[in-house]
Copies of this chain bind each other. A is one copy, B any other.
Amino acid sequence: MAKANLFYAQSGGVTAVINASACGVIETARQHKAEIGKVYAGRNGIIGALTEELIDTSKETAATVAALRHTPAGAFGSCRYKLKSLEDNRAEYQRLMDVFRAHNIRYFLYNGGGDSQDTANKVSMLSQKEGFPITCIGIPKTVDNDLPVTDNCPGFGSVAKYVAVSIREAGLDVASMCESSTKVFVMEVMGRHAGWIAGAAGLAAEKEGDAPHIIIFPEIAFNKAAFMRKVKACVKRHGYCAVVVSEGAHYKDGKFLADAGGTDAFGHTQLGGVAPFLANLIKQELGYKYHWAVADYLQRSARHIASATDVEQAYAMGKAAVDFALAGKNAVMPTIVRKPGKSYRWTVGEASLAEVANVEKPMPRDYITRDGFGITQKARDYFSPLIRGEDYPPFKNGLPDYARLKNVLVTKKLPIWKAP
């Protein structure tokens, strides 16, 4: 029998370091040519497996593969596509099996969040039943940091560093001008269900008076009166107020702040995000001149300011996934395990896919200050090591020199796939 091939796919929202995991996968597989044939990557994630669009990574030079380590976003394409339950859409799983069989794929490495780990788990189970057993290994990835079991998720540390650096810099800007100009600055960050990213921005404040002064978490229902009191007190005391707000900020009844502003003149829901909404609310209530920023994709693609810890861990997760597969493990995901002790040390652990599938981990309540607007020392101790170290990409003509892949597709062997 020909050597078994490996299929790697990126899933869901991309990050500054998901390609570092890809780099770990490909480089490690290339070191085990006796056991692993080719590494195929799904074009646009799992969709590429369904459509039989498999990228042959062996066509990429060692230098290009190495450059993936410093290249943000999904080099092979990713997608938001969740396979339905086996009962609802068995044909889709069957198609995966068919493609894997046709290309002698015996290893499936799925780089994503909780949904993806669920899918990988199901593929593993089904493949056993079908008599074409596929080794399924998850690789953790999410900027939201909401996967269980693992201490943190690759992708998070770099967003965390970006938002903390950004609010420190913008905070200095506002502080310089507040006497005669902008008094309130609101920065919106990602995190619809969990406030990890917003919380990490709190690292920027090291001394009394430093930005950010207020953080709004999705874990705490928004209390407008308390918020306004705090903004006012902050401007009185420090001359300005820098606010970090999670996109998932919501009222007690679960309604997002961003959705609360009604519709515009055309009857469309208000365009802005939560940052402009909140800034305007402050203007109405307190009269302060404001500015706001919405970093959106800038935050999760900011490879230029990636955390070295994050890059290292992303690579290690990719490498560990291949090592796990070669060691005969199945339906597991490597995790990051924080070792006890004062100085930060971590090691690679292991979780079953069943454990991590579809579970969301919110910020613990004791990471948030009692008033709900800041982070505790416990949170700082958790966040701080994750943003440590700089891992700058190479630059050319003043711009980061990111990998450009050939992304050559493997010749198809099956009929065209039609979604059932």
Contact = CB atoms under 8 A, between A and B. Distances in A.
Interface string A130-148: 0000000000000000000
A195 interface: no
Interface string A305-323: 1010000000000000000
A71 to B, nearest CB: 8
A395 B305 CA distance: 11
A80 B177 contact: yes
A140 to B, nearest CB: 18
A307 B397 CA distance: 11
A295 B295 contact: yes
A377 interface: no
B169 A400 contact: yes
Given A272-B271, A277-B271, A169 B293 contact: no
A359 to B, nearest CB: 23
A79 B77 CA distance: 46
A305 B147 CA distance: 31
Interface in A169-208: 169-170, 172-177, 179-181, 185, 187, 203-204
A72 interface: yes
A413 interface: no
B169 A304 contact: yes
A268 B280 contact: yes
A207 to B, nearest CB: 8
A394 to B, nearest CB: 10
Interface of A: 10, 13-14, 16, 44, 47, 71-75, 77-81, 161, 164-166, 168-170, 172-177, 179-181, 185, 187, 203-204, 261-266, 268, 270-273, 276-277, 279-280, 284, 291-298, 300-305, 307, 384, 387-390, 392, 395, 397-400, 402
18 contacts: A13-B177, A16-B169, A71-B172, A72-B172, A73-B169, A77-B179, A165-B399, A168-B402, A170-B297, A261-B271, A262-B266, A271-B277, A271-B280, A272-B272, A276-B276, A291-B297, A388-B397, A389-B398
The 3 closest A-B pairs by CB, nearest first: A262-B265, A74-B176, A387-B398
